[in-house]
């Protein structure tokens, strides 16, 4: 086949072989490199894709805020990363085939959380200034009466009781991302898969899903929006700060709770915020860059970047008890099938960030 340079059977490393099988072209021609007819065939472009998935995405290291790959490759550098013995030959083959070198990547500091508004949010004394910016710069959206969303409960006492699907009582609030002591929040999503993830369910759980709708249009601050401001750099970007905040773990909850309290005080019924599981749901790589520039700042990529975010809903108070939200339907939910998307990366060649 014209344009085919390698196949999945050319590699020794099992991760590279399996990923090449996933992305390669099924074709029974003979591989000009290894002579296999059964391997999935790779063009030079696909070898580049494979190298990016394995060495760049596969070495992505998460920090408290942000993440950066430990390895990069390009046509200007020769390879200077140490390799494990079982993929030494593979890395030489990729280098030779597409003319690239692999090197340790010194990330730009914003990628590992050095973003001014994010720094300011972490400081209790300057937090309010940034929260005020969030209140003015993020758009307002409406959850309309005609719209519905889902809320999952595991092991409810009486599954058909509407109250089971309301926010937990005030005295139990303060556990998750946006609720605080005496400030209960109802979490839900229009994406049922994300609801299942957010509930950290297992196959043994007794699960129920309520389909809910507001009884009047609810006013929400949309923190899942991509703020377009090409004048600022990543270091100054409020968009990057909020994006990183919602992809961070528990250590970020005191900040997100303060944001929720301020949004509530400003008269909103709740917020739309990016699900922590957005990337797993959409199978996308976090914090993608080209030459150190975030794709979130490239106007042509806004739509693509926005599509990587799955919005969740957080409604303040106890919306069912307060008659702001009605239960339209309750169903039993059964997990019948789970399949993971899998990527691979190298080991044994990596410095710490």
Where do contacts with Zn ion occur on this chain (CB under 5 A)?
7, 9-10, 31, 33-34, 36, 39
**Cβ proximity to Zn ion, 7 vs 349, nearer residue:** 7
Measured from the CB of residue 54, what is the shortest distance to Zn ion in angstroms? 16
C-alpha span between 23 and 26 (Å, rounded): 9
Q: Could you give the 3-state DSSP secondary structure of residue 50?
A: helix
**Minimum distance between the CB of residue 123 and Zn ion, rounded to whole angstroms?**
55
Q: What is the CA angle 123-225-249, rounded to 5?
A: 45
In angstroms, the CA 7 to CA 51 distance is: 13
Q: How many Å apart are CA 281 and CA 310, to the nearest integer?
A: 8
CB of 49 to Zn ion, least distance (A): 16
Residue 36 or 233 having the CB closest to Zn ion:
36
Measured from the CB atom, the residue of 31 and 194 that comes closer to Zn ion is: 31
3 state DSSP class of 218:
strand
How is the chain split among helix, strand and coil, in percent rounded to 5?
35, 20, 40
Nearer to Zn ion, 7 or 330 (CB): 7
**Beta carbons within 8 Å of 99's beta carbon, 6+ residues apart:** 75
CB of 173 to Zn ion, least distance (A): 58
Sort strands 270-274 and 218-222 into parallel, antiparallel or unpaired: parallel
Q: Which of 5/121 has CB closer to Zn ion? A: 5
- Cβ 308 to Zn ion shortest distance, Å: 33
Residue 65 or 87: the one with the smaller Cβ distance to Zn ion is 87
CB of 233: closest distance to Zn ion in angstroms?
Answer: 44
Of residues 51 and 313, the one with the C-beta less far from Zn ion: 51
What is the smallest separation between the CB atom of 2 and Zn ion, expressed in angstroms? 16
CA count, 13 A, side-chain hemisphere, 195:
22
Residue-wise burial string across 128-148, b where 16 or more C-beta atoms lie within 10 A, e elsewhere:
eebbeebbeebeebebeeeeb
Separation of CA 181 from chain center: 27
Kindly tell me the number of DSSP H helices and DSSP E strands found in the chain.
10, 16
Q: How far is the CB of 48 from Zn ion (least distance, A)?
A: 16
Residue 263 has which token pair? 């949004």
Instruction: Choose between 10 and 327: whose C-beta lies nearer to Zn ion.
Output: 10
């Amino acid at each position: 086949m014209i344009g085919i340079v390698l196949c999945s059977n050319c590699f020794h490393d099992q991760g590279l072989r399996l990923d090449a099988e996933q992305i390669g072209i099924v074709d029974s021609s003979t591989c000009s490199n290894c002579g296999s007819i059964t391997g999935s065939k790779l063009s030079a472009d696909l070898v580049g894709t494979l190298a990016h998935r394995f060495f760049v995405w596969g070495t992505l290291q998460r920090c408290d805020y942000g993440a950066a790959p430990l390895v990069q490759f390009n046509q200007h550098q020769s390879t200077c990363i140490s390799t494990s013995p079982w993929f030494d030959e593979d890395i030489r083959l990729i280098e030779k085939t597409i003319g690239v070198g692999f090197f340790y990547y010194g990330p730009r500091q914003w990628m590992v959380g050095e973003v001014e508004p994010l720094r300011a949010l972490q400081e209790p004394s300057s937090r309010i200034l940034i929260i005020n910016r969030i209140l003015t710069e993020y758009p307002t959206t409406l959850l309309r009466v005609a719209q519905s969303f889902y809320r999952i409960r595991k092991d409810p006492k009486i599954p058909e009781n509407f109250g089971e699907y309301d926010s937990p009582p005030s005295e139990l609030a303060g556990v998750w991302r946006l609720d605080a002591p005496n400030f209960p929040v109802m979490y839900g999503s229009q994406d049922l898969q994300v609801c299942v993830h957010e509930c950290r369910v297992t196959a043994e759980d007794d699960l129920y899903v309520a389909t809910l709708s507001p009884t009047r249009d609810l006013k929400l601050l949309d923190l899942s929006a991509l703020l377009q401001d090409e004048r600022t750099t990543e270091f100054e970007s409020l968009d990057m700060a909020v994006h990183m905040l919602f992809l961070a773990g528990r250590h970020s909850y005191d900040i997100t709770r303060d944001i929720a309290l301020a949004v509530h005080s400003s008269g909103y019924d709740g917020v739309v915020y990016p699900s922590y599981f957005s990337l797993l749901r959409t199978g996308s790589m976090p914090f993608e860059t080209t030459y150190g520039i975030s794709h979130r700042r490239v106007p042509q990529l806004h739509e693509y970047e926005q599509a990587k975010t799955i919005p969740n809903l957080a409604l303040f108070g106890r919306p069912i008890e307060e008659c702001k939200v009605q239960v339209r339907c309750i169903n039993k939910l059964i997990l019948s099938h789970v399949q993971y998307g899998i990527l691979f990366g190298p080991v044994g060649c990596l410095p710490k960030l």
